[in-house]
Amino acid sequence: MTTTDGRRPTAEEIRRAPKVLLHDHLDGGPRPATVIELADAYGYTGLPSTDVDKLGGWFRGPSRASSHSGSLERYLETFRHTVAVMQTADALSRVARECAEDLAADGVVYAEIRFAPELHIERGLSLDEIVEAVVDGLRVGAGGTGLHARVLLTAMRHQARSLEIAELAIRWRDRGVVGFDIAGAEAGNPPTRHLDAFQYIQRANGHYTIHAGEAFGLPSIWEAVQWCNADRLGHGVRIVDDIAVDPDGKATLGPLANYVRDTRVPLEMCPSSNVHTGAAASIATHPIGLLRDLSFRVTVNTDNRLMSDVSLTSEFATLVETFGYGWADIRWFTINAMKSAFLPFDQRLDLINKVIKPGFDALAANSTPRT
Ligand SMILES: O=c1[nH]cnc2c1ncn2[C@H]1C[C@H](O)[C@@H](CO)O1
Ligand SMILES: [Zn+2]
């Protein structure tokens, strides 16, 4: 459904819509100017440029399919510069505060921001000090805005600290941290490597999502769902490998795709990031179109706002442009995301009924026909 006059939502209208973001990396979204200032303040001399525009362009460059082999590993290389300047409590707080400010300005009303504490210990911060700095920064940045910001703690899947990070997540669960995740190079690092961490969280009645089915296929998703009991899947795009579509468009789901759809496993889809890492060839051929048509529990996310040069608004605008989505679709993705958040049920319901639905109703009603 588009607006009553059949017109598609504009980017500015989408920006004003109350949106929900479940998959956004803190170290994938700092402002280029902040990276330069922090590098200067802390004596980090490794930046490829100290010019704001050039640095921004450099971060985005490797994401472009043309200049990039479309590999997750290459995409992840750029993070070393953002991580390098996020090694003190002040720097972490500032990046977190600005992240919340940027999301609030983009019309996000609920966000789960993730990062890997183990990457921020180079200057001697303890894991708890790192989490404290980020939680504080988000609280300050979100203060006085309509944004509710929470944290997911990520463990790097090629490392061996996941149980420790899982314990950290539970230790902070009543203080802004709502879940756990694993990220990093997927091939060769299957989710079951971290089974003890997932089981720890499960025994503590906590929540976790798992990056799976991005750079590796169905076995990764199967392990994440059937061995590790993931509450949600980060990306999960390769679930399409278990769906056959015949020439007249009829889709047949294999057992894993059926299971994921039947049990409403939320898919944290990040279309632009997937094009940049080679997980999808283009937005037009991105599986989100098919998965939305088949009513999987799809959500729309940014992944890395800096490296992929996106905002949640721009990501929705791209989908509107590509798939002809209207308000009903954006609202459906948004409510899917809010239902899938790691927030207590009553708070999710409150945001849906008091913020999201009224916000979308007002926008769809007020959108004026184009002259
Ligand atoms: O899309 C991704 N897939 C796997 N790992 C990722 C992705 N985006 C960011 N990361 C990694 C790099 C960051 O340093 C780490 C924690 O945010 O998570
Ligand atoms: Zn990610």
- Centroid of ligand 1 to alpha carbon of 184 (angstroms): 5
Looking at the predicted structure, is the pLDDT value of residue 94 above 80?
yes
Q: Is 214 a catalytic residue?
A: yes
The strand pairing partners of 20, in sequence order, are 110
Q: What CA–CA distance (Å, rounded) separates 238 from 314?
A: 23
Domains in the chain (CATH in brackets) are: 11-366 (3.20.20.140)
- Average confidence (pLDDT) over 240-256: 97
- In this prediction, residue 366 has a pLDDT band, given cuts at 50, 70 and 90, of confident
Relative to the CA of 214, which ligand 1 atom is closest?
3
pLDDT in tens, 96-123: 999 999 999 999 999 999 999 999 999 9
Atom 5 of ligand 1: nearest residue by CA position: 184
Are the CB atoms for 173 and 206 separated by under 8 Å? Answer: yes
What ipTM was reported for this prediction? Answer: 0.99
Ligand 1 pocket: which of 24, 26, 63, 79 to mutate (most atoms within 8 A of CB): 79
Determine the distance separating the centroid of ligand 2 and the alpha carbon of 23, expressed in angstroms. 6
Nearest atom, ligand 1, residue 119 CA? 14
- pTM of the prediction? 0.96
Mean pLDDT of 142-164: 98
Q: Evaluate the CA torsion angle 73, 96, 232, 271 in order and state its sign.
A: negative
CA 302: distance to chain centroid?
Answer: 5
Ligand nearest to the backbone CA of 25? 1
* Token pair of 76 as six digits: 């992840």
Residues in contact with 10: Cβ distance below 8 Å, sequence separation at least 6, in sequence order: 317
Structure tokens at 36: 């330069």
Nearest CA to ligand 1 atom 14: 79
